[in-house]
Structure 1
Amino acid sequence: MGCMSSKKASRDDNSKSKASGRVYTPASHDTDDWGAPVLTRPKTPKAMSGPVPPVSAPPKRKDGVGSGPLPGRLSGATGASPGKYTPGTPTGKSPTYIIDRAPPNIHIPLPTQPKPVFVPKHKAPDPKRSSKSGILYQDTPYSKSAEGGAPPLVVESTLSDQNLPTSGSKVVKVPDGNYELNFSVLSQRGHYPDQLRKANQDSFTIHTSFGGDANDHFFGVFDGHGEYGQHCSDFARKNLSSNLLNDQHYPNDVVRAFHSAYLNTNAQLHKHSQYDDSMSGTTGISILVRGRKVYVANVGDSRAVLGVRKQKTVVAKDLSFDQTPYREDECERVKKCGARVMTLDQMEGLKSESEEIWKNDDHDDGDPPRLWVQDDMYPGTAFTRSIGDSVAEKIGVTAVPEVLCLELRPRHPFFLIASDGVFEFLSSQAVVDMVALYQDPKQACLAVVKEAQRLWLKYETRTDDITIIVVHVDGLKDPNKPRRQRPETEDELEPSRAVRPVRTMSRARMRSNEDAI
């Protein structure tokens, strides 16, 4: 569907919603072990053939949708078998595996779609205003460490169907700090009634012992959009981490290396002969753990969130800030580059063009502000930074990342990164509340994904692609004050303040049977 339906804007309700602080307790879910039959080397994905179609006009939108839920195929890695939480570290004697699993027709049971309910004064959500579309398939290669000890782990998404392995959540030791990272990842293909075989456009990557250093660990999530979105996200997944590792500034200046890596990945995608990124691209959020330090780099509206202990609660602190026109600084920047910023209703003449209606508290109805060229109705991106999107680059969309650095403390029990499908109806605090309920990060991932799916199907007839990585920080001590932790500062406990509105339940628009035809 192109960028017209690319990114749905949402933000934490701590700033514009009454749902702030709500603890979500997801419904009970299956704890079956999904099995892992065949261990074979995955085939290299075939490159696309044929000429690249020219982009002479904006993509056309499809109006008709079906109705009724359809379970999407689960794809992911590093899930844990159900049972008691037993932390540990790899022995270093594991054989070298490359896992490629044929899908045994195993699906996550999705909640039953509720009977449509009408909310006064709100129309049904229009599918062409919904978030983007989707492909994700995975392979999970494991390899021994050249230096011995714990083998480095690489968990990535590629172009082959796969389900969760049975091996459980992964644990890696960080010598500098003498603590452990216990992590899991889950990616769920979206459900599109008018495109039942639509593939997952989210990709992810996890590299432990990044660059051969046991203190360095890399996590990334890439959310593709547009006709070639799946290839754009897969391209970023394959190339961003290697560009970072090979940058001349790495590891001495990680911030500068991250900037170079994102820009180089963007330039390489532009030059790719088989993928047309003129109206396609991907978000990209990545975290590099280096000992006690954490670096977060972001383009787009995927999100990283840190859990911060405060007395008996865990407070969400955003480590990234969604780069969308909801942010005044980003909105003004793209306007100076020649972009028109309007919603679809404004572009179609249904609302006044002169008013920035998205700045109102009531505007969280699934029609976000988008970027358009001056004389036509494209590209329609709902974000201001991305990798790819060469047409949108001419009106201010950039691949320059925002980079944040912080030091992990004992009061930081976990962090997570996720695509925007998680945050459409859930605030950062709501997600942190759910993750805090589980000792096992695999169970936390599953709970968040199922709750996000439930809310999507409650308020729309479709779901977005959903990907989340949860990383528990276990056993970290404060080297400066071993007996008494440094008091939290006001800044460290500042509530999450992402600047795109969560589509709150009281304002979410419902679809009737007539609208679904």
Structure 2
Amino acid sequence: MGNRVATASPVNAEGISCVLRDQGDQRVVGCLHSQKGGKVVNQDSAVIYQSYGATDGVLCGVFDGHGKNGHLVSRFVKERLPLLLLEEKNAVGDAGILTDESSLESQATSDDDLSSDRTLHDWELPCTNAFEKMDEEIKDAKFDCSFSGTTAVVVLKQGNELVIANLGDSRAILGTIHENEVIPVQLTTDLKPGTPDEAIRIQRSNGRVFALKEEPDMKRAWLPSVYSPGMAMSRAFGDLVMKNYGIISTPVVTHHNISSDDLFIVVATDGIWDVLSNEDVTAVVMAAETEEMAAKAVVDAAAAAWKTNFPRDKSDDCTAICFFLQNNNPSQAPASS
């Protein structure tokens, strides 16, 4: 699993921060912060693993629980999914994925393209298999997951490659330099019931997709004949009843080749993105006093935005991970040290 990990399953904690430092020079390479919203427990969990799968490998993951036992599901997935991913990667192996080397090479137009194709191919099937097995294990958990579950966004860094496995409506973005500005690039698609392809799948499975009058902009997933459970995401772990009506645990797996302009990634639960734009979050990270304070700065900004924008509503739990990609170049660091 690697010998460096920062983890959070805060449950009742008002706020918790963890910092991951390089094993050699102790510079900050990543940080996470989680804060409870207006509910009884914080249902978010998060983890950063260093030396994951390789000496230079990293795993960042956030898990946003929902339903009565959502906090139990997110904590269970946080603990188990990183292990399953490595088990599936080792079980499948490169030979099991790249069955037609010549075909892959013929499709690539450069060494970078070939490397990108290899990395995505190496991890896509293991990610899909691991997510499927994770959902099966949840069925045997000691807590009821009939109407409880969690979203997941996992970002794997292997050398200069990123592989992103996304399940639900949490999000990952990249902060990158473009024309002397640091801009966000969204690495995931928010998988919600209102997304056309997601809605079609749910409706074909006899689930319903519609918005309530009091929240006309929020389409949710419902059982065929009752106003329940009203899920705001279209893919999740758990939610066993809704698995019969179009909610799935298959991740969308994508890839990004890291360039020298890419400074950091932010992986965060939807409590952040409901009130802050990608541009807002990028600006907060850039303005953070130190690298180790960046994740807390993002969560604090979201908490303030919840109070301003929705003063009568309970704020959502907010969790963010910031991982820095260019720490060996202080002039390109996302925050002063």
Q: Give yes or no for TM over 0.5.
A: yes
Classify 1:344/1:158 alpha carbon distance in 2 versus 1 (closer, same or farther; 3 Å): same
Query: 1:466: how far off?
Result: 0.4
Q: Which of the numbers 156, 160, 166 marks the counterpart of 1:292?
A: 160
CA distance in structure 2 between the aligned counterparts of 1:160 and 1:307, rounded to whole angstroms: 29
Amino acid at match of 1:208: Q
Given the alignment of the two structures, is residue 453 of structure 1 paired with residue 335 of structure 2, yes or no?
no
Aligned-partner SS, 1:421: helix
Matches within 5 A, 1:226-237: 226-237=67-78
CA distance in 1, matches of 2:16, 2:43: 18
Task: Specify the alignment match of 2:315 in structure 1.
Answer: 463
State the partner residue of 1:217.
Answer: 58
Partner-residue secondary structure (3-state), 1:203: strand
Alignment partners' CA distance in 1, 2:255 and 2:166: 12
CA distance in 1 between counterparts of 2:11 and 2:67 reads 20
Match of 1:329 in 2: 197
* Separation of aligned partners in 1, 2:168 and 2:327: 33
| Aligned equivalent of 1:204 | 46
Q: CA deviation at 1:344?
A: 2.3
Q: 1:304 to 1:172 in 2, by over 3 A?
A: farther
User: Structure 2 counterpart of 1:414, which letter?
Assistant: F
The structure with the greater share of residues assigned to strand is 2
The CA deviation at 1:171 is 2.8
Kindly state the Cα deviation for residue 372 of structure 1 after the two structures are TM-superposed.
Answer: 1.3
Q: Which has the higher Rg, Structure 1 or Structure 2?
A: 1
Say yes or no: does 1:262 pair with 2:131.
Answer: yes
Alpha-carbon shift at residue 191 of structure 1 (Å): 2.3
Distance 1:457 1:228 in 2: 26
Amino acid at match of 2:261: R
After TM superposition, list the pairs within 5 Å mapping 1:81-100 onto structure 2.
none
Q: Distance in 2 between matches of 1:393 and 1:294?
A: 29
What's 1:515 paired with?
A: none
1:340 aligns with 2:192: no
Q: Does residue 1:412 correspond to 2:280, yes or no?
A: no
Find the aligned partners of 1:475 and 1:466 in 2 and give their Cα distance: 26
Aligned to 1:157: 8
Q: Supply the distance in 2 between the matched residues of 1:231 and 1:199 (Cα, whole angstroms).
A: 10
Aligned partner letter, 1:472: F
Q: CA deviation at 1:168?
A: 5.2
- Give distance in 1, aligned partners of 2:290 and 2:324: 8
Partner of 2:21: 170
1:344-363 aligned at under 5 Å gives the runs 344-345=212-213
Q: Deviations over 1:165-219 (max 9, x none)?
A: 7x9552367xxxxxx8711100001124xxxxx11100011111114x2121111
Native 8 Å contact 1:441 1:471 kept in 2: no
Tell me which of 472, 493, 502 is aligned to 2:324: 472
Cα distance in 1 for partners of 2:327, 2:305 equals 35
The structure with the largest helix share of the pair is 2
In 1: Cα distance, 2:61 partner to 2:154 partner? 4
* 8 Å CA contact retained: 1:373, 1:395: yes
TM-score (norm 1): 0.54
CA apart distance, 1:419? 0.3
C-alpha RMSD of the superposition: 2.4
Q: Tell me how far 1:375 sits from its aligned partner.
A: 1.4
TM-score by length of 2: 0.81
Q: 1:159 and 1:433, CA in 2 relative to 1: closer, same or farther beyond 3 A?
A: closer
Q: Is the 8 A contact 1:172 1:182 kept in 2?
A: no
Equivalent-residue separation in structure 2 for 1:307 and 1:397 (angstroms): 31
Distance 1:418 1:407, change over 3 A: same
- Contact 2:35/2:318 (<8 A) preserved: yes
Q: Residue deviations 1:435-457, cap 9 Å, x none?
A: 12236333221221111111111
User: Which structure is higher in RCO with an 8 Å CA cutoff and minimum separation 6?
Assistant: 1
Contact 2:288 2:297 in 1 (8 A): no
**Of 252, 267, 272, the match for 1:402:** 252
Displacement of 1:373: 1.8
| Structure 2 counterparts to residues 405-444 of structure 1, below 5 A | 405-438=255-288, 440-444=290-294
Give the % identical residues.
28
Distance 1:405 1:278 in 2: 33
Do 1:409 and 1:476's aligned partners in 2 also have CA atoms closer than 8 Å?
A: no
Contact 2:265 2:322 in 1 (8 A): yes
* Cα distance in structure 2, aligned partners of 1:315 and 1:160: 33
Are the aligned partners of 2:173 and 2:266 in contact in 1 as well (CA < 8 Å)? yes
Contact 2:264 2:325 in 1 (8 A): yes
- Partner letter of residue 232 of structure 2? A
Output the CA distance in 2 between the equivalents of 1:416 and 1:282.
19
Q: Write the deviation string for residues 391-414 of structure 1: whole angstroms up to 9, x where unpaired.
A: 111110000000111111001011
1:129-155 CA distance string (max 9 Å, x none): xxxxxxxxxxxxxx9x7xxxxxx2122
Q: Secondary structure at the match of 2:22?
A: strand
Partners of 2:10 and 2:278 in 1: how far apart? 30
Question: What SS does the aligned partner of 1:474 have?
Answer: coil
CA contact (8 A) 1:431 1:448 kept: yes
Query: For 1:191, which of 34, 38, 50 is the aligned residue?
Result: 38
Q: State whether residues 381 and 392 of structure 1, in contact with CA within 8 Å, keep that contact through their aligned partners in structure 2.
A: no
C-alpha distance 325-452 of structure 1, shift in aligned 2 (>3 A): same
Find the aligned partners of 2:320 and 2:94 in 1 and give their Cα distance. Answer: 27
Query: Aligned with 1:413: secondary structure?
Result: strand
Q: Tell me the alpha carbon deviations over residues 330-362 of structure 1, each in whole angstroms, 9 at most, x when there is no partner.
A: 1122111211111122xxxx8xxxxxxx9xxxx
Q: Which residue of 1 aligns with 2:80?
A: 239
